[in-house]
Amino acid sequence: MPGTGAGPSRRSHTKSRKGCKTCKRRHIRCDETFPQCRNCTKHQVRCDYMESYSSDNESQNSPEQAQLVMTPGTESRIDVWQQTGSFPYPDLQVYPPPQTQEYSRTELRLIHHLSTASNDLLLNGSSNLTLWTQKMPKFLSIASSYPYVMHALLSFSANHLAWVHSSNETRSLHIQHGGIALRGLHEAIGNFSHANADAVLAASLLMLWQATDWRSWSSLRAGIQSVLSAMQQWKHESIFAEFIAEEDLVVASYRTHRRRSSLNPTDRGIVLQNTTQSLQRLKMSLNGHDLESSWVDQLLAYLYRLQASKSPSSPEEQFSQLYMLRKWLFWVPVSLLQRNGGQGPAMLTLAHFYATALQLEPLFPDLGSSFCSSMALPPLEAIISVTDAMSSSQGLDTAAMEIAAVMTFPRQAALNYRSQALQFQQQFGQQEPMLHINPDTLSYTSVGNLSPAFAPSQLHYGSSGQQTPSSASTSHSPFLEVPTSQAGFSYGTSQFGAMPSPGFGPQTYPAQESNYYQYGGMPTSGFRGGFVAPAPIWT
């Protein structure tokens, strides 16, 4: 019998008492990851760490909280929502609706923000004229049952608010929720099934829309293609059946876009000139509509920068150049359509934003239609239907003729794009089966700085000798300093707020005479004859 003290002494056991309530109740070890532990993320339940985090945050008198306190009417609606449990916007048909007791006040404000925008556009009949408001009720319905989808949605909402108000603090909320969403999505993909397919697709879409670097975007896009392929047998049961049908139309284009060669400099110049001329004509029709005119000015300035820059050679450079336009497509339509008053000038402006995305696609062959042009087509066609109906009802009066003239460029762009998509579909048929769903799909995903209000870098100019006002930059990014992939869901250190957003006054750009109507007889994308500046249309 061994003597006392024989062998190594036994280490005393220390038990952490800081685990979350869910792990304690399940008698499993909690990794104490803040603000949501891995076990809660895996089992798709809300971790009480989030409650303590939200409580601690709300107890501080921070600019972030002040920024999220909306109008008294908004705060009142949230109060009633918490008291009654009734979702404030029944017309959206969100089922099941979010349960207020599961979310902090700040999170309820974020949910309310997206719900308000979607409801406003639903009531004024323009929810199908944007990229996302028509889909939001479905996202909300799924998010009520899947925490990682809710975090993706909260991130999207904070992203929009950060853009509207140019707020670093609100953007931190967006980054925080996005990181939790990505971890939850990674876990869900590892347990992919018929039951959670819609949730995986919803979270993937919301995070794809917020990606700010090529590697993250392409990884998420590949994951979505895999999910859609796996859903083919039951796609008719999906809450996103219409979206899947739209994807089926452009899937051949997505498969083959890398086979397309870049446009030669002459063709590239013609595309940019035709688009610029059409925007200049549009601007003449917007006299007296300052907000729409300011956004057309921003889009023109963007095109002038493209004209002065070298054609991007790598996917990363192409992503960087098209990133600004893509973000505008998400945020500008809501800003214009949610206002009171006539929507005619807003629709004409948005039609040209969407048409510009269609026209520029060949300039960025490594991105393909899925980056922004395929998303821009449905709302553009909806605007064309509305403006055609308005023109028909007004007969051949001056206003109707003006609408028809201004819409020539968007209409032709939509027609050409739709025809090419159908040709690709007929030529290549349905997409071959993708690889099995794998959580490694997201292994490189790091969204970075998700704000379109991001400091631009200087362009790389060609041999033309043109110079920017400030040519000291040595950045390798020809357009935006879109951050490279980073560990986690974070944002870079560039100055926030340099890119155009509603948080800033309209920027002015000196008009260069050579930029206006001096293209040596270049075609004008369907505009025929002279153009006389008309009286402003629609009030």
Residues 265 and 303 in one domain: yes
| 250 CB-near residues (< 8 Å, 6+ apart) | 369, 370, 374, 421, 424
Instruction: State the residue for tokens 């967006």.
Output: 174
Residues 278 and 345 in one domain: yes
Residues 204 and 186: their CA atoms lie apart, in Å, by 10
Q: How confident is the model at residue 43 (pLDDT cuts 50, 70, 90)?
A: low
Q: Pick the closest to residue 172 from 449, 444, 501 (CA basis).
A: 449
**pLDDT tens, 479-517?**
333 333 333 344 432 322 335 555 444 343 333 333 322
Residues 327 and 369 in one domain: yes
The percentage of the chain sitting over the pLDDT mark of 90, rounded to a whole number, equals: 47
Residues 92 and 223 in one domain: yes
For residue 218, the surrounding DSSP H or E stretch is helix 214-230
Residues 97 and 202 in one domain: yes
Handedness of CA 19, 145, 114, 89 (dihedral sign): negative
Q: Is residue 3 part of a domain?
A: no
Per the structure, how many domains does the chain have? Answer: 2
Report whether pLDDT(522) > 90: no
DSSP 465-500: ----S------S-SSB-PPPP-SSS----SPBT-S-
Q: Is residue 212 part of a domain?
A: yes
Q: Which amino acid is at 323?
A: Y
Q: Which amino acid is at 469?
A: P
Question: What's the confidence (pLDDT) of residue 539?
Answer: 28
Q: Which of 248-257, 280-289, 317-326, 441-450 has the lowest mean pLDDT?
A: 441-450
Q: Pick the closest to residue 534 from 342, 284, 240 (CA basis).
A: 284
Winning range, highest mean pLDDT, from 42-51, 390-399, 528-537: 390-399
Q: Is residue 118 part of a domain?
A: yes
Cβ proximity of 240 and 252 under 8 Å: no
Torsions phi, psi for 456 (to 5 deg): -80, 145
**pLDDT tens, 219-231?**
999 999 899 889 9
Cβ proximity of 238 and 257 under 8 Å: no
Question: What's the confidence (pLDDT) of residue 400?
Answer: 78
Looking at residues 92-105, what average pLDDT do you find? 95
Q: Which amino acid is at 487?
A: A
3-class DSSP state for residue 25? Answer: helix
Q: Which is more confidently placed, 472 or 305? A: 305
Give the CA distances from residue 319 to residues 329, 356, 372, 446, 462, in Å, rounded to whole numbers and listed in that order.
Answer: 15, 16, 11, 15, 19
Q: Which is more confidently placed, 232 or 352? A: 352
Strand partners, 480: 456
Cβ proximity of 453 and 482 under 8 Å: no
Question: What's the confidence (pLDDT) of residue 414?
Answer: 95
**pLDDT tens, 195-209?**
999 999 999 999 999
Residues 409 and 395: their CA atoms lie apart, in Å, by 21
Strand partners, 465: none
Torsions phi, psi for 298 (to 5 deg): -65, -40
Question: What's the confidence (pLDDT) of residue 34?
Answer: 65
Q: How confident is the model at residue 36 (pLDDT cuts 50, 70, 90)?
A: confident
Q: Which is more confidently placed, 418 or 333? A: 333
Cβ proximity of 252 and 431 under 8 Å: yes
Q: Is residue 385 part of a domain?
A: yes
Residues 84 and 124 in one domain: yes
Report whether pLDDT(474) > 90: no
Looking at residues 444-472, what average pLDDT do you find? 36
Q: How confident is the model at residue 460 (pLDDT cuts 50, 70, 90)?
A: very low
Report whether pLDDT(46) > 50: yes
Whats the size of the chain, residue-wise? 539
Q: Is residue 488 part of a domain?
A: no
Question: What's the confidence (pLDDT) of residue 68?
Answer: 73
Looking at residues 129-154, what average pLDDT do you find? 97
Q: Is residue 440 part of a domain?
A: no
Q: Is residue 454 part of a domain?
A: no
Q: How confident is the model at residue 396 (pLDDT cuts 50, 70, 90)?
A: low
Residues 224 and 270 in one domain: no
Using only C-alpha atoms, what is the Rg of the chain?
A: 25
| Per-residue buried b or exposed e for 454-473, using 16+ beta carbons within 10 Å of the residue's own CB | bbbbbbbeeeeeeeeeeeee
Question: What's the confidence (pLDDT) of residue 225?
Answer: 87
Domain termination site, one of 239, 270, 293? 239
Q: What is the DSSP letter of 450?
A: -
**pLDDT tens, 242-288?**
887 777 655 544 444 444 567 888 999 999 999 999 999 999 999 99
Residues 131 and 277 in one domain: no
Residues 325 and 312: their CA atoms lie apart, in Å, by 15
Question: What's the confidence (pLDDT) of residue 17?
Answer: 67
Give the CA distances from residue 273 to residues 300, 359, 525, in Å, rounded to whole numbers and listed in that order.
Answer: 11, 11, 10
Residues 184 and 326 in one domain: no
Report whether pLDDT(10) > 50: yes
Report whether pLDDT(291) > 80: yes
Residues 371 and 288 in one domain: yes
Residues 302 and 450: their CA atoms lie apart, in Å, by 19
Q: Is residue 246 part of a domain?
A: no
Q: How confident is the model at residue 214 (pLDDT cuts 50, 70, 90)?
A: very high
Q: Which amino acid is at 390?
A: M
Residues 214 and 266 in one domain: no
| 360: containing domain | 261-428+510-515
Residues 385 and 282 in one domain: yes
3-class DSSP state for residue 446? Answer: coil
Indicate the average pLDDT of the chain.
75
The percentage of the chain sitting over the pLDDT mark of 70, rounded to a whole number, equals: 66
3-class DSSP state for residue 377? Answer: helix
Q: Which segments within 141-295 are labelled E, that is strand?
A: none
Q: What does the block give as tokens for 295?
A: 């956004």
Cβ proximity of 37 and 49 under 8 Å: yes
Q: Which is more confidently placed, 34 or 56? A: 34
Question: What's the confidence (pLDDT) of residue 429?
Answer: 54
Q: What angle do CA 34, 40, 45 make, to 5 degrees?
A: 120
